[in-house]
Amino acid sequence: MFTIYGYNTFNPIKVLLTAEELGLDYDYVNVELGKGENKAPDYLARHPLGKVPALDHDGRVLVESGAICRYLANISDHRLYSADPLQAARIDAMVDTTVLHVGRWLAVYFWEEIICRTFFKREPNADAIEEAAGFLKNQLPYLDQVLGQGTYLCGEDVTIADTIAYAYFQIQEKTSINLAPYPNIQRWYGEFSERPSVTAVKQRLAQAGGLLQYP
C-alpha cells in the first residue's frame, strides 16, 4: 500500500507523475501547506523538516522527491530508471541538471509569480525574476539541444528525468517564463502533456482540493 503526501506544487508532482507512469495504485493525501498542516506534530513525525512530498509504503516512510522517484522506479523492475549503473548515473546526471540548475530557477518564477501573489498578496520581485531569466538563458539551450537529439531527456524512453523535469516545466503554464526560443523543449512539453499520467495527476490534485489550484 502506497500513500503519497503532497500538495499542488512541483516536488510532490514529481512523485505523483512517477507513480502514475509506473501504473502504481496509491492513496493521495493533500497536506495543506497554506494552513500549516505540514508543521503539525503528526506530519512532522513523518517528515522532520515539515515538507512535501513524503511516501508511506506499508508503514515505511521515505522523504525527498528524487529519492522517492528512484525508489518507486527501482521496486518496479527499474522502469523509468535503470539497473545498469552507467545508465542510472546518466539519468541521475540529467535529474541533477534539471533540479539543481534549470529547476532551481524555474522555481523562482513559481515562488514570485504564484506563491507570493496567492499567499502574500504581493507582486513579484523584479530583480529575482531577472536573475532567474539570466541563468535560464544560459541553461535552457542545453536542454533544448538534448531534446533535439532524442524524444525524451535520456533518449527514446521516458525516465524519471522526464517526470521530474515536467513537474518543473509545468510552472511555465501560469508564469511569464518564455519557452518560445526553445522549440525542442516545447515539443517535448507538448507531447508529455498528452500523456495519461499528466491527466491523472491533475484529476488527483483536483479531487484532493487545496488552497493552491495550480496548474
CA–CA gap between residue 209 and residue 141 (Å, rounded): 36
Q: Counting contacts by CB under 6 A, is residue 18 touching ligand GSH?
A: no
Q: Counting contacts by CB under 6 A, is residue 33 touching ligand GSH?
A: yes
For residue 14, which of 40, 51, 49 has the smallest C-alpha distance?
Answer: 51
Q: Counting contacts by CB under 6 A, is residue 175 touching ligand GSH?
A: no
SS3 content of the chain, % helix, strand, coil (to 5): 60, 10, 30
Q: Which is nearer to ligand GSH, 51 or 182 (CB)?
A: 51
CA–CA gap between residue 80 and residue 23 (Å, rounded): 11
Query: If phi over 0 gives left and psi between -120 and 50 gives alpha, with beta otherwise, what is residue 58?
Result: left
Range in contact with ligand GSH (rule: CB under 6 A) among 63-71, 76-84, 89-97, 119-127: 63-71
CA–CA gap between residue 14 and residue 115 (Å, rounded): 18
Q: How many residues bind ligand GSH (CB under 6 A)?
A: 13
CA distances in angstroms from 184 to 36, 41, 60, 141, listed in the order given: 39, 45, 40, 10
Q: Counting contacts by CB under 6 A, is residue 56 touching ligand GSH?
A: no
Q: Counting contacts by CB under 6 A, is residue 64 touching ligand GSH?
A: yes
Q: Counting contacts by CB under 6 A, is residue 139 touching ligand GSH?
A: no
Q: Counting contacts by CB under 6 A, is residue 50 touching ligand GSH?
A: yes
Range in contact with ligand GSH (rule: CB under 6 A) among 64-72, 78-86, 152-160, 207-215: 64-72
> Minimal distance in Å, beta carbon 151 to ligand GSH?
26
> Minimal distance in Å, beta carbon 49 to ligand GSH?
7
92-103 residues labelled b (16+ CB within 10 A) or e (exposed): bebbebbbebbb
Enumerate binding residues for ligand GSH (CB under 6 A): 7, 9-11, 33, 38, 50-53, 64-66
